[in-house]
């Protein structure tokens, strides 16, 4: 009876006290064990009534222990993190990614041309001979078709070879085949050439080509469009010059240089001392190409241009090694930010 009231009034959240309670009543030398031992000594008559009382006493002790133990446990697990969390400490920073410098430059170029009404056109990286070479007026024996430059996937004399595209001019062909003039679009995308990897060359790079076909498009339109583009990208006052050149798909053809933006024309490693850097190839679309794509070359004329995004980015960010673009070193990548 005395023990019963002690058990009933017991309450604690302290694990050590609770363990004490268990040992005192339920332990192998505890009170419950002691009473059961004594129970064996009493007469059979008394056992009937005492047995019931003893069992109730044992259950009371066990139930109390269980309740107190569980309550204390739940308190302790809940309170642990609260005790450990120091809200005055500064938080751990979350590293967020940044756009790849090539993506930044691509977006900037797309933005500039979109102001002039150019839309974006895309096409497959695995192409057939027609779209990479034949439709673009490449002669049968042209060196660009050679194994040296092109990654061939399938050689097929009857239906035409299948290869990784060497330029996005293939998208110009697809665009012209599928629609009617006027065309005013740029074609960003990855292209592949079989070259040894070095600081200045890679087996893949990124291009943006452009095409403008309509009635009465002239070389003056070409010059003014590209001049505007350079002023927007490298700043007003950037000088440009055109040099005659050759491409199978344009006639006449030119290459455009800009005044080296790194040394401002004084001569550096990037422009190899000349003060000028070539940034793109361009020209008036060859009438043969228009006809190959089902366009009346008597009625329509057009210009096209193509540039490597890596080259544009090198000049903009003064990056001297092309390989940095594809190594995914975050120390390099996270230097470039922009709101584009």
Per the annotation, where are the binding residues?
A: 251
The Cα–Cα gap between 316 and 307 comes to 14
Name which of 189 and 306 has its Cβ closer to ligand PHE. 306
Name which of 189 and 281 has its Cβ closer to ligand PHE. 281
The token pair at 102 is 């090539």
**H or E stretch including 261?**
none
Name which of 212 and 325 has its Cβ closer to ligand PHE. 212
31-37: Cβ within 8 A, 24+ apart: 31/3, 31/61, 32/57, 32/58, 32/61
| Phi, psi of 322, deg, nearest 5 | -55, -30
Q: What's the DSSP call for residue 266?
A: S
- Burial class of residue 288, CB neighbours in 10 A (0-12, 13-18, 19+): middle
Q: How far is the CB of 321 from ligand PHE (least distance, A)?
A: 21
Q: How far is the CB of 304 from ligand PHE (least distance, A)?
A: 4
Q: What are the residue ranges of helices labelled H in 266-318?
A: 287-292, 309-317
C-alpha distances in angstroms, 109 versus 106, 118, 245, 308, 319? 5, 11, 24, 11, 18
Q: How far is the CB of 325 from ligand PHE (least distance, A)?
A: 18
CB neighbour list of residue 97: distance below 8 Å, 6 or more residues apart: none
Determine the residue with CB nearest ligand PHE. Answer: 306
Name which of 181 and 210 has its Cβ closer to ligand PHE. 210
Q: How far is the CB of 283 from ligand PHE (least distance, A)?
A: 5
Q: How far is the CB of 126 from ligand PHE (least distance, A)?
A: 17
Name which of 34 and 122 has its Cβ closer to ligand PHE. 122
Residues found near ligand PHE in the complex (CB under 6 A): 167, 169, 209, 247, 250, 281-283, 304-306
Name which of 167 and 184 has its Cβ closer to ligand PHE. 167
Is the peptide bond between 182 and the residue preceding it cis, with omega within 30 degrees of 0? Answer: yes
Is the peptide bond between 334 and the residue preceding it cis, with omega within 30 degrees of 0? Answer: no
Q: How far is the CB of 317 from ligand PHE (least distance, A)?
A: 22
Annotated binding-site positions for Mg(2+): 251
């Amino acid at each position: 009876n005395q023990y019963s009231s002690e058990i009933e009034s017991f309450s604690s959240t302290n694990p050590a006290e609770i363990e004490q309670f268990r040992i005192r009543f339920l332990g192998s030398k505890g009170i419950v064990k002691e009473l059961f031992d004594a129970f064996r000594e009493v007469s059979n008559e008394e056992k009937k009534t005492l047995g019931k009382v003893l069992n109730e006493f044992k259950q009371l002790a066990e139930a109390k222990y269980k309740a107190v133990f569980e309550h204390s446990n739940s308190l302790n697990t809940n309170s642990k993190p609260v005790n450990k969390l120091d809200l005055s400490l500064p938080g751990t920073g979350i590293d967020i990614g940044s756009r790849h410098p090539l993506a930044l430059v691509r977006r900037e170029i797309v933005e500039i041309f979109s102001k002039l009404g150019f839309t974006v056109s895309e096409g497959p990286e695995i192409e057939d001979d027609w779209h990479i070479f034949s439709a673009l007026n490449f002669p049968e024996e042209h060196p660009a078709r050679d194994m040296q430059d092109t990654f061939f996937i399938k050689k097929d004399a009857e239906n035409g070879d299948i290869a990784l595209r060497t330029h996005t001019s293939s998208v110009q062909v697809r665009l012209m085949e599928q629609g009617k003039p006027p065309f005013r679009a740029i074609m960003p995308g990855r292209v592949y050439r079989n070259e040894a990897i070095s600081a200045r060359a890679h087996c893949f790079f990124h291009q943006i080509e452009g095409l403008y076909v309509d009635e009465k498009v002239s070389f003056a339109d070409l010059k003014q469009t590209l001049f505007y583009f350079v002023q927007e990208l490298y700043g007003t006052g950037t000088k440009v010059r055109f040099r005659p050149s050759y491409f199978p798909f344009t006639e006449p053809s030119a290459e455009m240089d800009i005044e080296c933006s790194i040394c401002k024309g004084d001569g550096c490693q990037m422009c190899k001392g000349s003060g000028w850097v070539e940034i793109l190839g361009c020209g008036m679309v060859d009438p043969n190409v228009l006809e190959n794509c089902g366009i009346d070359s008597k009625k329509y004329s057009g210009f096209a241009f193509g540039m490597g995004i890596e080259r544009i980015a090198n000049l903009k960010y003064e990056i001297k090694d092309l390989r940095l673009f594809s190594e995914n070193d975050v120390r390099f990548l996270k230097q470039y930010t922009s709101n584009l």
